[in-house]
Amino acid sequence: MSQANRETYPLIELSIGTPDVDAQEAFWVKLFDGKVIFRGQMMGLRFSRLIVCGATLVFREDPDFQLPPGPGDERLYNNHIGLRVFDLDRSVAELESRGAEFVLKPEMVRELLKQKNDGAPKILETDYIAPPLNAERLANGEYKIDVAILVGPDNLWIELNQITEPEDTNWFPW
């Protein structure tokens, strides 16, 4: 998206159903210094709106909410909130000191990437690379993302991303 479109359509909110608004609110305040800006009822159901990491998270009570797989059962982490960090190891240590439960840490990912999968699908295969990057530049480490994943209430996955990218991509300028 161009800079003009980022300014025209900035992402400001993510609304998520939950059976326990209080647990979500407490988690985001404790771990990420979230600030509650509204709390009440929406369509007769409880909600909480927080400012967290520069965006708004809205947690809306959903009495029919079905928990996704949790730690030990989930391996794909398809549904997650991704946050950018600039020092992944420091961020993991800080969040653990606040009570975060990580299910995937950088050293675990590095070990997984080293393993031979003996016919199993590779952890990551890229079949398209947008210019100006190419396979050689990726192999040289000009662009990489190191990740760690922690679990929040309702098995909401939060992925921390330390992104290394060359200046000529500028895909993640913030």
Q: What is the mean pLDDT of the chain?
A: 89
What is the pLDDT at residue 25? 97
Going by C-alpha positions, the residue among 169, 95, 172 that lies closest to residue 134 is 169
The pLDDT, as a whole number, for residue 35 is 97
**How many Cβ atoms are within 10 Å of 27's Cβ, its own excluded?**
24
Residues 6+ apart with CB under 8 A from 139: none
What pLDDT does 67 receive?
Answer: 86
| Positions of the chain with pLDDT under 50 | 1
Domains defined along the chain, listed by start? 1-64 (3.10.180.10), 67-174 (no CATH)
Q: What pLDDT score was predicted for residue 24?
A: 97
Secondary structure E strands in 53-143? 55-61, 80-85, 101-104
At 148 the pLDDT is: 95
pLDDT at 117: 66
pLDDT of the residue at 1: 46
CA distance linking residue 95 with residue 92, whole number of Å: 5
Give, in order, the Cα–Cα distances in Å from 8 to each of 3, 33, 170, 173.
9, 28, 18, 16
Q: Which of 50, 54, 59, 42 is nearest to 12 (CA)?
A: 54
> What is the per-residue pLDDT for 69?
85
Contact 61, 139 (CB under 8 A): no
